[in-house]
Amino acid sequence: ESVLYVVATPIGNLADISERAISVLRSVDLIAAEDTRHTRQLLMHFTINKPLFSVHDHNEEQRVSRVLDELSQGRSIALVSDAGTPLISDPGFVVVRAVRQAGFSVIPVPGACALVTALSAAGIPTDRFCFEGFLPAKSSGRKKQLQKLAEETRTMVFYESPHRVLESLKDIAEVFGEGRELTLARELTKTFETFLSGSLAEVIEQVEADSNQRKGEFVLVVAGADESSDDDEGSVAAGRVLEVLLEELP
């Protein structure tokens, strides 16, 4: 029926898959997966057996023609990533755009997404927020990116890996000030799900004290800059930015 379904899968707890996701995965002709081995495991759990092919960051452009070809022969395809919602810090954008441009339907099948899951329980304002994905891996790039966000008043959501979580928290504290409030959400929906909330100084102290708090997958939900920031606070923030910039100079 020439449809591309964009199907969200769990971010840990397999019971979070939706009934609709299962029935769509059962009904399609093909499944396009970020990592076919990973997805085969998931499908086995739900006793679904379908032909798979890979669509990941390194072959996405190339795979567009395969997807369009299958759709033009009347086949239906489900696009999935390793965890959560495809296209959210995951491959799929190039394919979805091309499929839409070619005039085929793209139907979303919503489900788990780590950023929304973290926001829903973080206790940080959710009326306005921005998703920043992963910060740059190197500290210099990271601080540059954070400086651009120094005046951001919306809640900011970042994804982070276990290797860098502590370094990133420290850079955020350096640029935003260690009094800024955040919630560090770890291992969402999994056995060791943990939320650490407080000022950056407080959360950093807890993460430093317990190496378990550096394991697993993380979402950082950081409060925005104070809206009511008067000139005083503004100049404190400006001073901090200047400090960081000076550090970068030769």
Give me the residue whose beta carbon is nearest to ligand SAM.
84
Quick one: 104 or 159, whose CB is closer to ligand SAM? 159
Among 16, 90, 167, 202, binds ligand SAM (CB under 6 A): 90
The verdict on 113 binding ligand SAM (CB under 6 A) reads yes
Tokens of residue 243, six digits = 């400090």
Cα separation of 109 and 104, whole Å? Answer: 16
92 binds ligand SAM (CB under 6 A): no
- Closest by Cα among 130, 119, 153, 112 to 15: 112
Residue 66 is a binding residue for ligand SAM (CB under 6 A): no
> CA-CA-CA-CA torsion for 22, 25, 10, 93, nearest 10 degrees?
-140
Binding of residue 167 to ligand SAM (CB under 6 A):
no
Name the one range near ligand SAM by CB under 6 A: 41-49, 167-175, 215-223, 227-235: 215-223
Which of these ranges, 96-104, 108-116, 123-131, 242-250, lies near ligand SAM under the rule CB under 6 A?
108-116
Residue 218 CA, chain-centre distance (Å), reads 9
Question: DSSP strand E in the chain: where?
Answer: 3-7, 30-33, 52-54, 77-80, 105-109, 129-134, 155-160, 181-186, 194-199, 218-222
| Distance in angstroms (rounded) separating the CA atoms of residues 232 and 237 | 9
Q: What is the DSSP string of 80-108?
A: E-SSBSTTSSSS-HHHHHHHHHTT-EEEE
In angstroms, what is the minimal distance from the CB of 10 to ligand SAM?
8
- In contact, 97 and 104? CB cutoff 8 Å: no
Task: Find the part of the chain contacting ligand SAM (CB under 6 A) among 53-61, 66-74, 85-93, 194-202.
Answer: 85-93
* Rounded-to-integer distance, Cα 86 and Cα 66, Å: 18
Range in contact with ligand SAM (rule: CB under 6 A) among 46-54, 88-96, 97-105, 173-181: 88-96
Binding of ligand SAM at residue 160 (CB under 6 A)?
A: yes
Which residue in the set 5, 104, 129, 159 belongs to the binding site for ligand SAM (CB under 6 A)?
159
29 in contact with ligand SAM (CB under 6 A): no
User: How big is the site for ligand SAM, counted in residues (CB under 6 A)?
Assistant: 23
> How far is Cα 135 from Cα 161, in angstroms, rounded to an integer?
10
Contact between 218 and ligand SAM per CB under 6 A: yes
Single out the residue of 170, 190, 215, 240 in contact with ligand SAM (rule: CB under 6 A): 190
Q: Does 214 bind ligand SAM (CB under 6 A)?
A: no
| Residue 60 interacting with ligand SAM (CB under 6 A) | no
> Looking at the DSSP assignment, which residues form a beta bridge with residue 159?
134, 219
Residue 160 DSSP SS3: strand
The residues that touch ligand SAM, with contacts defined as CB under 6 A, are: 11-12, 81, 83-85, 88-90, 113-115, 159-161, 185, 187-190, 217-219
